[in-house]
Chain A
Amino acid sequence: MAGKDRSLIAVIGDEDSVTGLLLAGVGHIDNKQRSNFLVVDAKTPVEKIEQTFADFTKRKDIAIILITQAVADDIRPMIDDHSEAFPTVLEIPSKDHPYDPAKDSVLKRIQRLFGEA
């Protein structure tokens, strides 16, 4: 069931977060010149973020998508809709936005489940 070829960690976030993670070594450019990261700044249009997110979810070689919470808020409906197991979407804090559990899609799902259970 788990795609055996899924091995990459994708990143969508602000410049500092992306650079830091790239330093760690998650950055990858494949032979079609597609990268697995996107730096989002104040000038990036929301459609571009949505498009990249949709692309990442469709790709078969990405296992995890790291996205800073600030950017996640911009495309919140898309993230809420994403309910497949692969790739996993993980919300990470960034320098200016400490981690807020109230906004995390996954935690919201958990709360919904246990609110009913």
Chain B
Amino acid sequence: MTTLKPGEVNLGTTIMAVKFDGGVVIAADSRTSTGTYVANRVTDKLTKVEELIYCCRSGSAADTQAVADIVKYHLDLYTSQHGEMPTVKVAASLFQEICYQNKNNLSAWIIVAGWDKQTGGDVFEIPIGGSLHRPEFAIAGSGSSYISGFCDKSYRPGMSKEECIEFAKNAVGLAITRDGSSGGVIRLAVITKDGVERQVVYGNELPAQYTG
């Protein structure tokens, strides 16, 4: 399992981000656990670091909150100094710098996604260790292992916004069913040049699944 200190709160999780033409769809479950106890069953793991740039947090709750706060501060400073919004690449790079330089003291697996003028929608992934990756879609957290096959099979390049939302709901829903560390509701956000639309998918609204 994960390398958390005793008593430390775990964001054992399922998070994902998918790019589409015009923006990104990001999704996360809502469970925070301390050992086996569910400390928060309505957590918000989709954290704003800039108006149109969000990060999806998994790993240690404390570590990811701290890193996101620091990146938020730096991005705010960037906007003041440059007079324009930072790109998603800049945000991801800041996350990487912190995660890589403090790799021995952090337990964080983060997805950075958002919209910027230069690229449109953009997705980055920073796994444990602090490497930076730029895939078309990213899945992370303890629940992601159960949906790798499903995602590889279901994803097609050039999906529409609505198709990406269904893809994310299905994927996170399946992971929640199988992963003990993921659960609660599915929080979704769609980020485009026009802003961020957030939605919540409750258990009874999930796409149909076989559950025995």
Asked if A and B are interacting partners, one says no
